[in-house]
A and B are shown apart, each in its own frame.
Chain A
C-alpha cells in the first residue's frame, strides 16, 4: 500500500515535471548518454568566455542600458542584433546539415509555446531590466567583477523566481 502511494506520487511528480518543463525555456533535450560530472567543466569554460564578453562588451553597464532604452546609441542593438544573426545562421546550418553533438547525438531544437506569461512576465522583467540595468547573465558577471550590490539583486531575483513557482497555479498563463 505504502509502496503504491509512493509510486503514484512519483508518477505525478514526473507528469508535473514534464508539463512544467515544456512551458519553460530550458533544456528539454534528454540526452540518453550519461557523462561523468566533470564533463560539466566544458560549460564552465564557455561561461568564463561569456562572462568576459559581457564586461568587455559593456552589456553589464547600467549606463549602456539607459542609453539603449532612450534610443540614444546603436551599441546594445548592435550587440544583440549581431548575436541574433550569428545565432540564426548557426541554427539554420545545424538544421540543414543535420549536425550532431560531439558525442554523435542528433541536435534537437524545441519549439516554444505561446502563453500569456511571455507578455505579462516579459513586461515585468523589462521593468526590472530598466531599473537594475542587468538581466540574469550580467548579474553573475557583475558579481564576479566586484559589484557587491549585485549580490543583493541576485538573491532578490532568486526570491522572485521562488515566489513565481509558489504562485504559478494562480497566475494567468
Chain B
C-alpha cells in the first residue's frame, strides 16, 4: 500500500481528489473552498491595525486556518513517509530550455532537509536547488524569488478576491464568469513571467 502511495500520482487521481474537496467542504460545514483567504485571516489575527479590511470576526473563519494547518501537516507526512525521491517526469524540452537558462535539473546534490534525522531529500526533485536554497535567502536571488514573488502572490490573490482554489476550482465549478476572467488573468501573468520576464531575471542573476 505504502509503495503504491510513494509513486508519483497520475494527474487524474490528483485532479479527482482536489475536485472532491469542493463538495466535501460544502457538505461537512457549508464552506466554500478557498485558500488565499487564510492569508487575510492571519493578518486579521496578528496585525489588524485598525484597517477595516482586517477588522472582522475572524473566529468565524477559523476553519480556514485549521484547513491550511492540515495542508502543512500533509506536506510533512508526504516528505517523511511518502516521498519517492525520484525526479519528476518532466518534458525534456522544458529541461533543456531551463538548462540553457542556467537552471540545472539533473543536479544530484543532496540536502538534509529535516536536520537531526537521516532522512535526506533531493531539493531538485521539486525545486531547482540553485534558487530554492537557504543560502540564497539574503541575496538578490532570494529577494526576487521569495520576497517579491511572495508579495505578488499575497497582494494579487487578495486583490483578485481568490487564488487558484477559490477562483479556478471553486468559482469555475459554480459557473461564475468573474472567476473565469480571474483564471485567464492568472494564466496570462504566469505565461508572461515564465516566457519573457523570468529568462531576463535568470540571465541577470545566475
Contact = CB atoms under 8 A, between A and B. Distances in A.
B146 A132 contact: yes
Contacts of A51: 70-78
Contacts of B74: 47-55, 141, 144
A64 B105 CA distance: 12
Interface in B1-50: 5, 8-9, 11-40, 42-43, 46-47, 49
Contacts of B185: 118-119, 121-123, 125-126
Nearest to B175: A88
Q: Indicate the size class of the contact surface on chain B.
A: 35 or more
B31 A29 contact: yes
Interface in A52-102: 52-70, 72-76, 78-88, 90-91, 93-94, 99, 101-102
Most buried by B among A65, A88, A152: A152
Contacts of B54: 162, 165
Given A20-B53, A24-B37, A63 B75 contact: no
**Interface size band for A:** 35 or more
Chain A at the B interface: SS class: helix
A25 interface: yes
B193 A131 contact: yes
Contacts of B78: 51-52, 55-56, 141, 144-145
Contacts, number: 567
Contacts of B39: 136, 157-158, 160-161
Nearest to A105: B30
B190 interface: yes
A57 B71 CA distance: 14
A137 B11 contact: no
A20 B43 CA distance: 15
Interface string A28-57: 111100000101111111111111111111
Q: 8 smallest A-B Cβ distances: which pairs? A: A126-B189, A51-B74, A47-B70, A82-B15, A86-B19, A121-B159, A144-B75, A160-B154
Interface of B: 5, 8-9, 11-40, 42-43, 46-47, 49, 51-57, 60-64, 66-79, 82-83, 88, 90-91, 93-94, 97-98, 105, 113-114, 121, 123, 125-128, 131-134, 136-137, 142, 144-179, 181-195, 197-198, 201
